[in-house]
Amino acid sequence: MSTMLLFPGQGAQAVGMGQDLAAGLPECRALFTQASEVLGYDLLKLCAEGPIEELTKSHQAQPAIFVVSQAARIALAHALGGKLAVAGTAGHSLGEWAALHEAGVISFADAVRVLRARGQFMQEACEATPGGMLTLIGLPLDKVQEVAQASGLEVANLNSPVQTVLSGHADRIAAGEAAAKAAGAKRALRLTVAGAFHSSLMQPAADQLAAFLQDVEFRAPRCPVWSNVTGKPHTTPDEIRRLMVAQVVSSVRWTDAYADMAAAGMKVGYECGPGTVLAGLGKRIVPEVAIASIFDLAGAQEAAKLAV
């Protein structure tokens, strides 16, 4: 069976994540040690003990989620007896960097450095211009786009056929809520986030990231990696670099990417990292794909049953 690996994005962080993996497998603990050397602080301690206020800060959450995701991937491979053959991979927002690492595009240490910087750039952009995000449930895309235009917001995440996220200035969120309810949305929920991710308000962060990535080596992917920006597989290293900058201000086309992976023959999916959000979205996009979430050793053992 063709297998895809999926990696979660920011918001999946939780105190205690990765602790079980690091305690159970030396290879997982080694990842935390390596990342801590890059970051200059004890990442495992932060993940295991928090506090959540520190773990949620973008420049710490992003490398933390990346490392936990890589540890979960190792645990899955271990549960499968080392027989994890990946036909394709994708990640949601920061998770796309984990997907690129999985495909050999970027080294582990470089990914940790990039995500610390990316998180810092995004946090600075959030502090410069107050923003917010709004999840809409049960509204078709054409209506979502009308709501965005009417309220001055932007479409940030196309998560599933029934879930879309808008992003923009904090003072426009209330207008978005009202417009969404008027358009017939089942629910309009404000997200607890630092700012307007995946919108034009993140342009300063994108500009800083572009400069930072000039000194980072990108290699050709050894397996297909689906892009958030296009919903299609990445191509050349230079194009990957360009799209990973654009991703900061662009819509995350998760529905398109997941559906395209399934159309390419992916029959089994593993969500590696904290949380179960991507598994839930996947079941709404292509229910026929069998998908499991791995964030601890027990989950890895359970997920391995999909391969039987």
pLDDT at 82: 84
Residue numbers in the chain where pLDDT is lower than 70: 1, 308
List, for residues 250-296, the tens digit of each pLDDT value.
999 999 999 999 999 999 999 999 999 999 999 999 999 999 999 99
Q: Which 3 state secondary structure label does DSSP give 89?
A: strand
Pairing of β 266-272 and β 2-7 = parallel
pLDDT at 271: 98
pLDDT at 96: 98
pLDDT at 307: 73
pLDDT at 1: 62
**Domain boundaries, given as residue ranges, for the chain:** 2-127+200-307, 130-190
pTM above 0.75, yes or no: yes
Chain position carrying tokens 């690129």: 100
197 and 167 Cβ atoms separated by less than 8 Å: yes
Q: What are phi and psi of 28, to 5 degrees?
A: -70, -45
248 and 202 Cβ atoms separated by less than 8 Å: yes
User: Catalytic: which of 93, 151, 167, 251?
Assistant: 93
Active site residue 93: yes
pLDDT at 83: 84
Fold of 2-127+200-307: Malonyl-Coenzyme A Acyl Carrier Protein; domain 2 (3.40.366)
Burial class (CB in 10 A: 0-12, 13-18, 19+), 127: exposed
Check whether domain 130-190 has CATH 3.30.460.10, yes or no: no
Q: How many residues does the chain have?
A: 308
Active site residue 198: yes
Burial class (CB in 10 A: 0-12, 13-18, 19+), 284: middle
**Which H, E and C letters describe 250-279, residue by residue?**
CCECHHHHHHHHHHCCEEEEEEECCCCHHH
User: Catalytic: which of 36, 198, 250, 293?
Assistant: 198
